[in-house]
Amino acid sequence: MSGYETPEPRLRCVLPFEAAPTEVRRLRKAVVGQLGRWGLPAAAGEAALLVTELATNVLKHVGEGVSATLILEWRGERLRVEVHDRSRTVPALRSAECDEECGRGLHLIAACALDWGAFPTVAGKAVWCEIPLSAGKSCRRVERAAEILEGYRAGREGRHVEMTEAGIEESAIELIADLLHWSAAHGHDPDDVLDWAQMHYEADVDAA
């Protein structure tokens, strides 16, 4: 896997890849290395997760072995992650209860990213997302987690419930367990997911 960069003011790295499980793992490592060279190690965990999801979607929904391209672009206070493939089907979010084939992975991308979208290209389509690099990111993470936990608890109970401290902790544990089940069902190692999450958390704390 080889990539090339364009100079500032926007740092940009282009990584062609083939949709395959081993290539997705190499792509993730390449992203972590690139962000380290840019001096953005705190963004590595979240970016690697999003790249994994975007590349896995190409593998599952476009086909194994197809050619695709990952573009990383550092734009001021944001990091943009963009994956191009040759399918002209532009994905869209549907209900959270939909099955895997309707794009449940997009819910993870939408939950983790500051913003995301998709657009047609001459050769197919591109799916992109952006994560913040500012110092206020940790605060936004706490707000986002609270929103997710409230929705998760309401989904479990079938109704909106008042979130007590004990209820928040219980819901957080159940959500983490569900995410580990989800990761295993999608071919990921739950231990790796936990390691990445811990690394990302520690990096954010160190950067705060």
Structural domains of the chain, ranges and CATH numbers in brackets: 4-132 (3.30.565.10), 137-207 (no CATH)
Q: Are 130 and 112 in contact (CB under 8 A)?
A: no
pTM above 0.95, yes or no: no
Tens digits of per-residue pLDDT, 43-78? Answer: 888 888 889 889 988 988 888 889 999 999 998 889
Residue 204 — very low, low, confident or very high, per pLDDT cuts 50/70/90? low
Mean pLDDT score, 7-17: 78
